[in-house]
């Protein structure tokens, strides 16, 4: 199918109508084609369009590309915003990945609610993405590659050129007499995507001329399968999840599912909290070691960016925990102002004026030998026994803010008051939702 502005209008017509279209304009062939085609169909669009150019400063020609985009948009009377990036090295990220993340981040900061970012990814880009995901051993979600539309930021991100090959876009550009800029880094075959682009995909096209179309079809099939797996995970998760404790899961209901459905549910549950989904080995350990562990065991599986622990028949999901506060730390507090706690533990505040609190207390963390007689109950309890009675997980215990005066425990966070204090709990410990 040959590319034309009319085909672009048809694609956009099937998408939500934004307040404004924002075109990511690099100055390369693909985005220049999209710019000119949008300009041609502008009178028929239901929203105005503008262009965004990001000068990443990575190449000596970056300023020339920015000037080219400014002159091009001026000639078409298209509003253009030029954004500047200052990139530095980040451990664990390639320069290509860093630049990509930074571009999207800076463009997101420029866009208003309800706007749509248009990128010029085309069918050959989709083939590259599909093959890269395949070679990484991705599942159907990864093999779904790039969707035409997805929710992004406070609006949408759309790729309206995915149905067209680069050759089709270039044919249209040459027929229109357009000019564009070539990024020399696109020729560097030590970059894996470029290696596929220049060395592998041309050979595949010789044997399978319909490669772009068939890959797009496979990606759509994978996207459909991914949506079905997501729906299955949501259906399996719904009866297990307590809305008040979304970072916890009861093992009993989870263990009743098949291993495949457990794995699918865990991937969805973990990803829904914005944490990296664990790779195959940590996920296998969760299924093989954590879920079937003894009732009194405290198994834990860590992966980059996340942890899963088990306690009293429940799974506890959390980001990688920072170290607990030092036991020698002392914080003075009179309960009048919010008290910021260290190590990402949030803050303490008093819901009401409390005489014993306003007299001044020391806030510290786990101390050996401390005990408490919970208000309204008989018998002194050791700190460990008290935590066991209140079902406080072991990893939370050294992070509990303890209110102390003259060496005596007055309150354990907002869990309990210690005699002689009594009445309603006057404290509120505001902390991350996963730290419960």
Q: What is the pLDDT along the chain (436 residues), one digit of tens a residue?
A: 689 999 999 999 999 999 999 999 999 999 999 999 999 999 999 999 999 999 987 777 889 999 999 999 999 999 999 999 876 554 445 666 777 888 999 999 999 999 999 999 999 999 999 999 999 999 999 999 999 999 999 999 999 999 999 999 999 999 999 999 987 666 666 578 889 998 999 999 999 999 999 999 999 999 999 999 999 999 999 999 999 999 999 998 999 999 999 999 999 999 999 999 999 999 999 999 999 998 888 999 999 999 999 999 999 999 999 899 998 999 999 988 999 999 999 999 998 888 888 889 999 998 778 889 898 777 888 988 999 999 999 999 999 999 999 888 999 999 999 988 888 899 999 999 999 8
Residues pairing with 24 in the sheet: 52
The helix (H) or strand (E) run that includes residue 58 is none
Q: 163 in a domain, yes or no?
A: yes
Environment class of 256 (CB within 10 Å of its CB; exposed 0-12, middle 13-18, buried 19+): exposed
How large is the greatest C-alpha to C-alpha distance in the chain, in angstroms?
89
Q: Please count the other Cβ atoms lying within 10 Å of the Cβ belonging to residue 129.
A: 20
In a domain, 251, yes or no: yes
Distance of alpha carbon 300 from alpha carbon 305, whole angstroms: 14
Q: Are residues 156 and 94 in the same domain?
A: yes
Tell whether 112 is covered by a domain. Answer: yes
CA distance 87 to 102: 8
Predicted local distance difference test score (pLDDT) of residue 366 = 85
Same domain, yes or no: 302 and 339: no
CATH number at residue 296: 1.20.59.20
- Number of domains composing the chain: 3
In this prediction, residue 92 carries a pLDDT of 47
Residue 382 resides in a domain: yes
- Tell me the whole-structure pTM to 2 decimals: 0.82
Whether 107 and 16 share a structural domain: yes
- Is 352 found in the same domain as 275? no
CB neighbour burial string for 361-373, b if at least 16 within 10 angstroms, e if fewer: bbbbbbeeebebb
Last residue of a domain, one of 318, 348, 376: 318
Is residue 144 within 8 A of residue 219, CB to CB? The reply is yes
- Which of 318, 339, 371 terminates a domain? The answer is 318
- Going from the C-alpha of 154 to that of each of 14, 25, 48, 84, 108, the distances in angstroms are 19, 20, 18, 22, 9
Q: Are residues 96 and 161 in the same domain?
A: yes
Nearest to 184 by CA among 194, 171, 169, 174: 194
Residue count of the chain: 436
- Give the pLDDT of residue 417: 93
Together in a domain, 260 and 358: no
What pLDDT, on a 0 to 100 scale, did the predictor assign at position 96?
67
Per-residue pLDDT at 430: 96
| Judgement on whether residues 257 and 219 belong to the same structural domain of the protein | no
Closest CA to 249 of 230, 232, 268: 268
Residue 234 domain flag = no
Residues 194 and 248 in one domain: no
- Beta strand pairing status for 402-405 and 427-430? unpaired
409 belongs to a structural domain: yes
DSSP calls for 5-49: HHHHHHHHHTS---S-EEEE--SSHHHHHHHHHHHHHGGG-SS-E
pLDDT of 186 reads 63
The verdict on 300 and 156 lying in the same domain is: no
Residue 35 in domain: yes
User: What pLDDT was estimated at residue 24?
Assistant: 97
Assess whether 348 and 307 both reside in one domain. Answer: no
Among candidate residues 223, 250, 284, the one where a domain is terminated = 223
Whole domain around residue 306: which residue ranges? 241-318
Same domain, 148 and 179: yes
**Domain CATH for 59:** 3.40.50.620
Rounded Cα distance between 295 and 317, Å, is 18
The tokens describing 68, both together, are: 């080219």
Sign of CA dihedral 27, 214, 211, 168: negative
Residues 159 and 31 occupy one common structural domain:
yes
CA atoms within 13 A on the CB side of 384: 2
Residue 360 lies inside a defined structural domain of this protein: yes
């Amino acid at each position: 199918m040959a590319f034309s502005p009319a085909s672009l209008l048809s694609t956009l017509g099937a998408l939500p109508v934004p307040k404004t279209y924002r075109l990511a304009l690099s100055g390369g062939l693909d985005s220049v084609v999209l710019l000119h085609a949008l300009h041609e169909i502008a009178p028929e669009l239901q929203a105005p369009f503008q262009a965004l150019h990001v000068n990443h400063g990575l190449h000596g020609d970056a300023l020339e590309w920015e000037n080219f985009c400014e002159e091009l948009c001026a000639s078409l009377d298209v509003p253009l915003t030029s954004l500047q990036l200052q990139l530095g090295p980040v451990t664990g990220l390639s320069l290509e990945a860093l630049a990509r993340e930074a571009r999207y981040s800076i463009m997101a900061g420029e866009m208003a609610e309800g706007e749509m970012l248009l990128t010029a990814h085309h069918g050959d880009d989709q083939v590259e993405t599909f093959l890269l995901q395949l070679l990484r051993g991705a599942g159907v979600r990864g093999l779904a590659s790039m969707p035409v539309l997805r929710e992004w930021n406070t609006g949408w991100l759309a790729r309206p050129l995915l149905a067209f090959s680069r050759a089709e876009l270039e044919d249209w550009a040459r027929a229109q007499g357009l000019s564009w800029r070539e990024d020399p880094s696109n020729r560097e075959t030590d970059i894996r995507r470029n290696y596929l682009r220049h060395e592998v995909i041309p050979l595949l096209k010789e044997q399978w001329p319909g490669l772009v179309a068939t890959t797009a079809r496979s990606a759509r099939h994978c996207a459909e399968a991914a949506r079905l797996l997501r729906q299955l995970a949501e259906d399996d998760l719904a009866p297990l999840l307590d809305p008040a404790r979304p970072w916890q899961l009861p093992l009993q209901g989870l263990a009743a599912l098949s291993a495949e459905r457990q794995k699918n549910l865990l991937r969805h549950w973990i990803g829904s909290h914005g944490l990296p989904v664990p790779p195959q080995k940590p996920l296998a350990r969760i299924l093989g070691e954590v879920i079937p562990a003894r009732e009194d065991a405290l198994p834990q599986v860590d992966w980059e960016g996340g942890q899963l622990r088990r306690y009293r028949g429940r799974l506890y999901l959390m980001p990688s925990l920072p170290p607990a506060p030092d036991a020698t730390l002392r914080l003075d507090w009179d309960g009048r102002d919010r008290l910021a706690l260290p190590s990402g533990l949030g803050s303490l505040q008093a819901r009401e004026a409390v005489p014993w609190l306003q007299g001044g207390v020391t806030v510290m963390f786990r101390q050996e030998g401390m005990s408490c007689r919970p208000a309204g109950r008989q018998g002194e309890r050791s700190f460990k026994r008290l935590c066991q009675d209140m079902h406080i997980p072991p990893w939370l215990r050294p992070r509990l803010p303890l209110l102390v005066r003259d060496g005596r425990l007055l309150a354990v966070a907002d869990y309990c008051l210690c005699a002689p204090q009594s009445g309603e709990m006057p404290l509120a410990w505001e902390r991350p939702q996963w730290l419960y």
